[in-house]
Amino acid sequence: MAGALAGATATLCFSSENRIKTLHFSTKRHSFHFPRPKVSALRWNSFSDGSSEVELRLKLDGHDVQSAKDIFVDADGSSLIVQVRKPGSLITLIETNNLFDRIKPAETIWYIDDDQLVINFKKQDPDLKWPDIVESWESLSAGSMQLLKGTSIYIVGDSTEINQKVARELAVALGYTPLDTKELLETFTKQTIDSWVQDEGSDTVADAESAVLESLSTHVRAVVATLGGSHGAAGRTDKWRHLYSGFTVWVSQTEAIDENSAKEEARKHMQDGSVGYSNADVVVKLQGWDADHAKSVAQACLSALKQLLLSDKNLPGKKSLYIRLGCRGDWPNIKPPGWDPSSSSTATDVPPATLES
């Protein structure tokens, strides 16, 4: 179910020696690893998407290819290796384990056309438009819009600064409106969040941010940076009613030293549920923080959201239905019109609402 997936899906993002590695996993499913794609210096000459298939063309100038026997192509799922046979060695033209989406390996064909190598792939999902052959910041930015369908994104987590910088990167990439609850609150009250907390306490600030989130819940095509820390609404389990209107990404720092321990940490957080952030649709964990790497973290966010949306393409429509019914807090098991949130009815008492075709 989408609800189970949304509550258990996580992406872990590590920064080590200026490299970003991501890991997407679900406690309900097997683990999926998305390491940084490896692509040789040689770029492809052209790429095209023909609905059910994609075509890649590579120039072979300077490689002295005598026949098709000199070419080695290995495509499997989401990976691709293209090599040219030389006396005593193989020269790698392309090596990536991060194609934009999965292909049907058995239906891959390739041939030589003059000085170009042409490779044709059959897509597993013919409805998904590929902006490029590999998943990158540029292709994710272009490709995610078709999946999000205008649904807004909320960045949550303990650090307001991280939330702000990642949200800005995402907004620019997607062509969404960047919104910042800290900026909105400080502009309205004409005081800083810190002074507000000191004067009136964190509960008052969390209540005020919750009111702002309510006003933003009907907005589309926005990326909203939320307050971090104990005074933020997103950190409180009872203030997620309007955050559910969009896709939420929990950006969380970790002291884990490897991917396995970070994965276990995220799994425990999601299962524990004592922290409001555990309600997020996806989680991005990072080791350390450098504002200069905000785009890398934003890329991990888009990659995680892409996997979530590909697992259930009805999620944007379900979010829209949730908004139309008034953001009543019944996510992901949306109740029919007329359901009273204050009633004692449980999820098993009332059948969920359904999307109209």
Distance in angstroms between the alpha carbons of the first and the last residue of the chain: 19
DSSP string, 220-278: -SEEEEPP-STTSGGGSGGG-TTGGGSEEEEEEE---SSHHHHHHHHHHHHHH--SGGG
Say if CB 258 and CB 287 are below 8 A apart. Answer: no
Predicted confidence at residue 352, as pLDDT, reads 59
Please state which CATH number belongs to domain 46-122: 2.60.40.790
46-122 shares the fold of 2-36+135-324: no
Count, residues in the chain = 357
Of 3-7, 106-110, 186-190, minimum mean pLDDT range: 3-7
Strands laid side by side in the 32-34 sheet: 32-34, 19-26, 9-16, 282-286, 247-253, 153-156, 222-225, 177-180
Is pLDDT of 32 > 60? Answer: no
The per-residue pLDDT for range 220-254, each reduced to its tens digit, is 999 999 999 889 999 999 999 999 999 999 998 88
Is pLDDT of 98 > 70? Answer: yes
Predicted confidence at residue 8, as pLDDT, reads 36
For the chain, counts of helices (H) and of strands (E): 9, 15
Mean pLDDT of 27-42: 36
The per-residue pLDDT for range 280-338, each reduced to its tens digit, is 999 998 888 889 999 999 999 999 999 999 999 999 999 999 999 999 999 999 999 98
Please identify which residue in the block is written with the tokens 């384990």. Answer: 97
Q: How far apart, in whole angstroms, are the C-alpha atoms of residue 119 and residue 159?
A: 45
The per-residue pLDDT for range 175-221, each reduced to its tens digit, is 999 999 999 999 999 999 999 999 999 999 999 999 999 999 999 99
Give residue limits of the domains in the chain. Answer: 2-36+135-324, 46-122
The per-residue pLDDT for range 255-294, each reduced to its tens digit, is 777 777 777 777 777 777 667 899 999 999 888 888 999 9
Q: Which of 278, 196, 265, 270 is nearest to 236 (CA)?
A: 278
Q: What is the CA radius of gyration of the chain?
A: 23
The CATH class, in words, for 2-36+135-324 is alpha beta
Is pLDDT of 10 > 80? Answer: no
pTM: 0.84
Say if CB 163 and CB 233 are below 8 A apart. Answer: no
Predicted confidence at residue 67, as pLDDT, reads 80
DSSP single-letter state for residue 335: P
pLDDT band at 143 (very low <50, low <70, confident <90, very high): very high
Q: How far apart, in whole angstroms, are the C-alpha atoms of residue 32 and residue 171?
A: 27
Mean pLDDT of 90-116: 92
Q: How far apart, in whole angstroms, are the C-alpha atoms of residue 80 and residue 82?
A: 7
Predicted confidence at residue 355, as pLDDT, reads 59
Is pLDDT of 122 > 90? Answer: yes
